[in-house]
Amino acid sequence: MLKRLSVALVAGALAFGVAACGGEEAGGGSTGGGGDDKITMGFAQVGAESGWRTANTKSIQESAASAGIELKFSDAQQKQENQIKAIRSYIAQKVDVIAFSPVVETGWDTVLKEAKDANIPVILTDRAVDSQDTSLYKTFIGSDFVLEGKKAGEWLVKEYEGKTEPVNIVQLEGTTGSAPANDRKSGFTDVIKADPKFKIIASQTGEFTRAKGKEVMEALIKANPDIDVLYAHNDDMGLGAIEAIEAAGKKPGTDIKIITVDAVKDGMTALAAGKINFIVECSPLLGPQLMDLAKKVVKGEQVEQRVLTEETTFTPEQAKAALPERKY
């Protein structure tokens, strides 16, 4: 009798316990998935390959904190497989919204489909994906890299206006296959190809890093003794190349004109010092805009498929003026 009673009691306690747990779980689920109070965002960052990227990371982390959004952050170290893994884990964790900067443009369809099937909206930041199916993501916020390349090309055309001698250009590309590398290249080429005097005599990847930028420029400057212009897809590669140019006994900014993209602090310092001639800005501070979009998307509001970040360009004089307030 007593035994039976105790069994019944234990069973009852167990049942109650399970029910309690279940209740708790349901409650947790509703706060996590419902989005009435706290939104959870999974963000898969490219890496920390440049000063630009770290400023971008900081902006996202800070604006998430101030917008009251819980941020799960991962660093893919410039590898697509890491990013796919991170996105899969966000899907498994049932976050409310996933945002990421794709390392490369292609190969995202499967994992984005998984997110779509799990009803988790996806926001692309700063880099696009090359997919036929635009329903796989809600919106894409970021710079227009083609436009950046065009701005760089337009400055060059203006700089050499009225001159007829050929202009030998060397290009340091970003990570092979990445959207900024592809677009900055095509935008630039589109503008300068109208005039046959502009010749891209060499174009190699510097992987967006300073060390590679230096190594590649060291080789290119020897293979091509008469370089007039260097166009680097980001500041860091340009800064590395400046060291190579100086080591070759030439004056960066004078003997070889330098155009870069990004406008991070180190780049702006070099621009103010006349070692770089022109920088096209690519602002990393898209955190606040991203958080606004995330809130709207989670609520189910309609958002634009393409949102641009505000950007400008800098000459040495403008750099001197802007430098004291440059945060990144």
Partner 1 sequence: MTQPTVSERSAPPDQTPEKRGMMRTVLRHRLFWPAAVLVLLLVGNVFFTPSFFSIRLQDGHLYGSLIDILRASTPLILVGLGMTLVIATGGIDLSVGSVMAIAGAVACLRISDLPDPNSVGGVLAAVGFALLLALVLGLWNGLLVAVGGIQPIIATLILMVAGRGLAQLITDGQIINVRSDPYRVIGAGYVLTVPVSVIIAGLFVAAAALLVRRSALGLLLESVGGSPAASRLAGIQARTLILTVYVFAALCAGIAGLIFSSNVSSADGNNTGNLIELDAILAVVIGGTALTGGRFSIAGTVLGAVIINTLNITVYTVGIPSNVTLLFKAVVVVVLCLLQSPSFRAWASGVKRLLPTPSRAGGAA
Stretch that binds partner 1, among 82-90, 158-166, 204-212, 287-295 (CB under 8 A): 204-212
DSSP of 133-196: -GGG-SEEEE--HHHHHHHHHHHHHHHTTT--S-EEEEEEE-STT-HHHHHHHHHHHHHHTTST
User: Should residue 186 be labelled a site residue for partner 1 when binding is judged by CB under 8 A?
Assistant: no
Stretch that binds partner 1, among 30-38, 111-119, 159-167, 198-206 (CB under 8 A): 198-206
Residue listed under structure tokens 């000459």: 315
Q: Which of 104, 141 has the CB closer to partner 1?
A: 104
Which sign, positive or negative, has the C-alpha torsion 12, 13, 14, 15?
positive
Cα angle vertex 324, ends 318, 327, to 5°? 105
Q: Which of 57, 277 has the CB closer to partner 1?
A: 57
* Cβ at position 6, least distance to partner 1 in Å: 49
Stretch that binds partner 1, among 13-21, 133-141, 151-159, 220-228 (CB under 8 A): 220-228
Among 220, 227, 258, 298, binds partner 1 (CB under 8 A): 220
* Cβ at position 298, least distance to partner 1 in Å: 27
Cβ atoms within 10 A of the Cβ of 86, count? Answer: 22
Q: Which of 48, 92 has the CB closer to partner 1?
A: 48
Q: Which of 121, 238 has the CB closer to partner 1?
A: 238
Stretch that binds partner 1, among 64-72, 93-101, 127-135, 210-218 (CB under 8 A): 210-218
User: Should residue 295 be labelled a site residue for partner 1 when binding is judged by CB under 8 A?
Assistant: no
* Cβ at position 67, least distance to partner 1 in Å: 21
Site string for partner 1, 250-289 (x = CB under 8 A): ----------------x-----------------------
Among 18, 48, 92, 321, binds partner 1 (CB under 8 A): 48
Cβ atoms of residues 157 and 163 within 8 Å: no
What element of type H or E holds 2?
helix 2-34
The first and second tokens of residue 153, run together, are: 């090309």
The first and second tokens of residue 206, run together, are: 């510097």
Cα angle vertex 142, ends 159, 202, to 5°? 40
Q: What b/e string do you get for 299-324 counting C-beta neighbours within 10 Å, with b at 16 or more? A: eeeebeeebebeeebbebebbeebee
Among 192, 216, 280, 282, binds partner 1 (CB under 8 A): 216
Task: Give the pairing type, strands 313-314 and 278-281.
Answer: antiparallel
Cα–Cα distance, 180 to 133 (Å, whole number): 21
142: left (phi over 0), alpha (psi -120 to 50) or beta: left
DSSP of 306-326: EEEPP--EE-HHHHHHHGGG-
* Cβ at position 116, least distance to partner 1 in Å: 30
* Cβ at position 7, least distance to partner 1 in Å: 48
* Cβ at position 218, least distance to partner 1 in Å: 5
- SS3 percent helix, strand, coil of the chain, rounded to 5, is 50, 20, 30
* Cβ at position 319, least distance to partner 1 in Å: 17
User: Should residue 77 be labelled a site residue for partner 1 when binding is judged by CB under 8 A?
Assistant: yes
Interacting residue ranges for partner 1, rule: CB under 8 A: 47-51, 54, 57, 75, 77-78, 173, 176-177, 202-205, 207, 209-211, 214-216, 218-220, 222-223, 225, 236, 239-240, 243, 247-249, 266
